[in-house]
Amino acid sequence: MINYLDFKDARCKDCYKCLRECPVKAIKVVDHHAKIIDSRCILCGHCTEVCPQNAKSVHTERGEVEKLLAGGNVIASVAPSFVSSFDLQDFNVMKLALGRLGFADAEETSIGAREVTAQYKKLLEAHTYKNFITSCCPAVNTLIELYYPKALAYLAPVDTPMIAHAKMIRKRHPDAKVVFIGPCIAKKREAHESGVVDGVLTFEDLAAMFEDKGIVLSEIARLPSKATGGVNRAKYYPISRGIIKSFENYIDGYEFVAVDGAEKCKEVLENIESISGMFIEMNSCDSACVNGPCSLALKAGALKANADIRKYVSRDLAEHSSAPYEEEKDIDFSCVHERKRTEDFVPTDRQIAEILAKTGKTKPEDMLNCGACGYNTCYEKAWAVANGYANIDMCVPYMRARAESMSYEIIQTSPNGIVLLDNDLNIMEINGKAKELLGIKEYDVKGKGIFHYFNPTEFVLAQNDNKNIYNKKVYLEKTGSYIELTIIVLKDNKGTYAVMKDITQETKSEEQLDKVKLETLATTDEVIKKQMRVAQEIASLLGETTAETKVALLKLKKTLQGEEEKK
């Protein structure tokens, strides 16, 4: 299966912006990275345009097309929006450039678009459609086939310009290969399923091929060329209302309107049954095809692109005489738009409720519907979780509340005193143990300076030197406590936090032990003195024994004194 569109894991930053902007929620999050759900995707490419990390990965057929070119007899069908993407006003320049790449010939896809308009005209004149939706945008066609089956009755059963043009080329050149070149990603899937288009290059692919071959369009534009073709109003197709402008006369009984952008298309499709007598030109891209996902970014964007197309067509109309268009014979331009289905699992209400409960949403007022996760409602998010398209932890308010709750619990239940200070040494957070050690009786001391309760010298030194202080023994006179103080300077000058380990008991135990040792030393010294007096009195009797006793007692005294000095 071909992945026509996806995201690069290395660039995806878990921001959910693409999911938020996707009109059909055809994106799932796997291991904190966005992935396209092929069965749901309409390939509008909008997600690639909004990604702040440019993480898009569009399937390229450049390698396959280059192999076709090596075999010869390949004809290019070039979307009319080449005018704006390549800043050209002469198709001959594009034709010569494509010839240098190895194409046997090149034509404008607007040739097929003109036939599509003719087919629309015939259907409209029959007055059998309550509403009529154009079928030129493959992304819109897929949108209707997957998500708005009621609108299928209004979707024109006519080929897109790409398919129509490919059929016309194949009629004239049965042995030729046809490659479409344009700004659209959805054309890739359509071409693959059509059987009449052999490959698709995006404008981005083509620009890269020109660069690799050293082909400069501005240099080719200086070469003399002759005008080709005739009047073709279908060259308006790539701009908003372009399909409408391709009609020389409107058909009575229909109001001709244009709808651009997938979200606006959805809005119309959701209410299609409530309207009538409408000819609706639908484009999934805002400002139509000149703003396609693989169009080349130029200054002034869609505004200039629109003006460029109008200028191009106006000159075409001015330079060529108008003549009645003769429709193609013996080619079937009709198509059937069938209902398509996604691979989604339909969870029960109970399953949805259980998923919502896991994020603390058990009542209507718990449903924030903030959209931070990328889904419009908490219910939609739960549905996505049930389908494996989303994770529980994508709920930002839930995760924030959970993090705050955990942080609070950790701080408050810590056996050590914890104090968090801002850069002005004001208390931002303090737990009960710290209050106990510092002798703070007030309930709420947040915002108050630490100097009211503790000598701030160590904090000031840590901040000024931007250096942490570890395990410094400090005596708290107010409570008579001893603490082991550690001060950590937070990154980016965001303050400091301190951990106060209560070592009062250990310190007092050490003092008690020292007292016992001193008393023992004094007692031992007294014993030695008494022994010496006794020894002197019986010296004559003990002889050498006295000397040995003295040595032993002196050794004992030195041992006790040595321990005291080591301490």
pLDDT-derived band at 512 (thresholds 50, 70, 90) equals confident
pLDDT-derived band at 64 (thresholds 50, 70, 90) equals very high
Secondary structure element (H or E) that encloses residue 93, with its range: helix 91-101
Distance CA 47, CA 52 (A): 10
pLDDT-derived band at 78 (thresholds 50, 70, 90) equals very high
**And the tokens for 88?**
């050209």
177-182 and 74-78 as β-strands: parallel, antiparallel, unpaired?
parallel
Q: What is the pLDDT of residue 112?
A: 97
- The residue with tokens 């529980």 is 392
Q: Which of 73-77, 341-345, 493-497 has the lowest mean pLDDT?
A: 493-497
Longest Cα–Cα distance in the chain: 151
The proportion of the chain whose per-residue pLDDT surpasses 90, expressed as a percent, equals 64
pLDDT in tens, 97-107: 999 999 999 99
The number of angstroms, rounded, from the C-alpha of 472 to the middle of its chain's C-alpha atoms is 46
Residue 388: Cβ within 10 Å count = 11
The number of angstroms, rounded, from the C-alpha of 491 to the middle of its chain's C-alpha atoms is 26
Q: What is the pLDDT of residue 30?
A: 84
Q: What is the pLDDT of residue 546?
A: 58
User: Would you say how long the chain is, in residues?
Assistant: 567
Please, what is the average pLDDT of the chain?
89
Looking at per-residue pLDDT, the higher value among 142 and 494 belongs to 142
Q: What is the pLDDT of residue 542?
A: 52
Distance CA 550, CA 547 (A): 5
**What average pLDDT score do residues 267-294 get?**
96
Q: Which of 44-58, 194-208, 521-535 has the lowest mean pLDDT?
A: 521-535
Residue 543 has pLDDT above 60, yes or no: no
Which of 214-218, 450-454, 505-509 shows the highest mean pLDDT? Answer: 214-218
Q: What is the pLDDT of residue 550?
A: 67
pLDDT-derived band at 2 (thresholds 50, 70, 90) equals confident
Q: What is the pLDDT of residue 548?
A: 65
The alpha-carbon radius of gyration of the chain (Å, integer) is 41
Q: What is the pLDDT of residue 229?
A: 57
Residue 220 has pLDDT above 70, yes or no: yes
* Ordered DSSP codes for 514-553: HHHHHHHHHHHHHHHHHHHHHHHHTHHHHTHHHHHHHHHH
Residue 541 has pLDDT above 60, yes or no: no
Residue 174: Cβ within 10 Å count = 7
Residue 475 has pLDDT above 70, yes or no: yes
Q: Which of 153-157, 246-250, 310-314, 563-567 has the lowest mean pLDDT?
A: 563-567
Q: What is the pLDDT of residue 222?
A: 82
In this prediction the pTM is: 0.75
Torsions phi, psi for 405 (to 5 deg)? -65, -45
pLDDT in tens, 300-316: 788 999 999 999 999 88
Q: What is the pLDDT of residue 39?
A: 94
pLDDT in tens, 403-456: 777 767 777 888 899 999 998 999 988 999 999 999 999 888 888 999 999 999
Looking at per-residue pLDDT, the higher value among 401 and 496 belongs to 496
Distance CA 66, CA 52 (A): 32
Apex 239 CA angle, 236 and 245, nearest 5: 45
